[in-house]
Amino acid sequence: MPITRTQKIFGVALPAAVALVALGMVTGACALKETTFGGGSAVSQKGPALAELATAYTKHVTRTVSRSSRTFAAVGQQGFFGAFTGAVPDTPLDQLLGEGDRPLMNNGLCPPDMASIDDRYCVDRYEATLLELLPNGEERPFSSFEPMEGHLLRAVSEPDVYPRGYISAVQAEEACGRSGKRLCKAAEWRNACMGPKHLTYGYSSGNEPGRCNDHGRSPMGVLYAGQNLGERGRWDWERMNSPALNQVEGTLARSGEHSGCTNDYGVYDMVGNLHEWVAEATFHGGYYLDTQINGEGCTYRTSAHAATYHDYSTGFRCCADVAQ
């Protein structure tokens, strides 16, 4: 019985790996292809063996489909392979699947909205935006411009939306945590930004103006035209957190809008658009007005602010550990 990369089981779209097991629970009759395991012997697992494997994995599947797919890598404490008690120890999941159903390269054990960084950890493909958790258990998109105080929010990574600015490292860590993720460590962030070729701008070793959102307008200059912004006092908390700033035309771009601002890991906008907080309470990558003052591209780093600081330029994305 062929199984595609995504199957609907009980009306829920599942990755092929999960669909294979879930479908086995329903039929108990589909056979796994003859597979060579670590010892080199060929083992053919049919009906009962598959059903036994599926039963051991039921709790994991239930937890997975009952939560957002965005938290897939973080589901369960026993790890992704730990529930496969019917399989040969240390047998990689992709060896249990036919070639056409194996995970795509660099997306093996990370959720679809995250990129696998050499199978060592996962990173959001796009700068984060937020969902609000409502008292009745439902969720709704939350503005990328309005104040966050008084709202229960979690981070998501989506294309073609305005990412969240105006956020502190503390708030970003909490939002990642509510999605089963965490803030990236500085080294993780920089490695993901530079890509597998370890390039200063991810896409290249040198800057290509306009490839990323790195030459935008100054919203402070537009919004407060005529005021003397040369005076330090003009750059106060209230002005720099005005919801209007990132809504000025020519400033913040939608996630993935600059399609060339990526690398071979498939992450977008790590240079420019918004500064991105990391776990060490520094922010990296520059934003739409500056990607070079405090280091070039992926090496850009600002440590001048406390973890509670935020303004229109501060954003984030999340990391997660790969499922083991």
Share of the chain above pLDDT 70, in %: 65
Amino acid letter, residue 5: R
pLDDT exceeds cutoff 80 at 249? yes
Cβ atoms 156, 135 nearer than 8 A = no
Contact yes or no for 124/180 (Cβ under 8 A): no
Give 108's pLDDT tier (boundaries 50, 70, 90): low
> What is the homologous superfamily of the domain 122-321 according to CATH?
paralog of FGE (formylglycine-generating enzyme) (3.90.1580.10)
Flag the least confident range among 163-172, 209-218, 223-232.
223-232
Taking residues 303-313, report their average pLDDT: 96
3-state secondary structure 100-158: HHCCCCCCCCCCCCEEEECCCEEEECCCEEEEEECCCCCEEEECCCCCCCCCCEEEEEC
Rounded to 10 degrees, what is the CA torsion of 82, 191, 181, 102? -40
**Structural element, H or E, at residue 205:** none
- As given in the structure block, the two tokens for residue 144 are 């990328």
283-284 β-sheet, strand order: 301-302, 283-284, 275-277, 314-316
**3-state class of 162 per DSSP?**
coil
Residue 172 phi/psi, 5-degree rounding, is -65, -45
Of 47-61, 82-96, 146-160, the poorest mean pLDDT is in 47-61
Per-residue model confidence (pLDDT) at position 185 = 98
Reply yes or no on whether the pLDDT at 223 is more than 80. yes
- Distance of alpha carbon 316 from alpha carbon 129, whole angstroms: 9
Of 230 and 64, which is predicted with more confidence?
230
Cβ-contact 33, 98 below 8 angstroms: yes
Q: For residue 25, how many C-alpha atoms fall within 13 Å in the half-sphere facing its CB?
A: 15
- Average pLDDT on 214-224 reads 92
Q: Which residues, at least 6 apart from 223, have a Cβ–Cβ distance to it below 8 Å? A: 239, 242, 244, 245, 248
- Which single residue is written with the structure tokens 């969720």? 139
What 8-state DSSP symbol labels residue 287?
A: B
Provide the whole-model pTM: 0.68
Amino acid (1-letter code) at residue 77: Q
Per-chain mean pLDDT for the chain: 75
- Could you give the CA distance from residue 278 to residue 122 in angstroms, rounded to a whole number? 14
Which range has the top average pLDDT, 31-45, 69-83, 157-171? 157-171
Please give the Cα distance from 145 to 181 (Å, whole number): 23
Per-residue confidence at 120, pLDDT binned at 50, 70, 90? very high
Q: In which band, very low, low, confident or very high, does the pLDDT at 283 lie, cut at 50, 70 and 90?
A: very high
pLDDT band at 280 (very low <50, low <70, confident <90, very high): very high
Rounded CA gap, 159 and 259, in Å? 10
Residue 134, pLDDT score: 96
Query: Which of 16-30, 194-208, 261-275 has the weakest average pLDDT?
Result: 16-30
Pick the more confident residue, 296 or 100. Answer: 296
pLDDT band at 6 (very low <50, low <70, confident <90, very high): very low
Residues forming CATH 3.90.1580.10 domain(s) in the chain: 122-321
The model's confidence at residue 4, banded by pLDDT at 50, 70 and 90, is very low
Q: Is the pLDDT of residue 32 over 70?
A: no
Question: pLDDT for 296-306, tens place per residue?
Answer: 999 999 999 99
For residue 233, pLDDT over 80 is answered with no
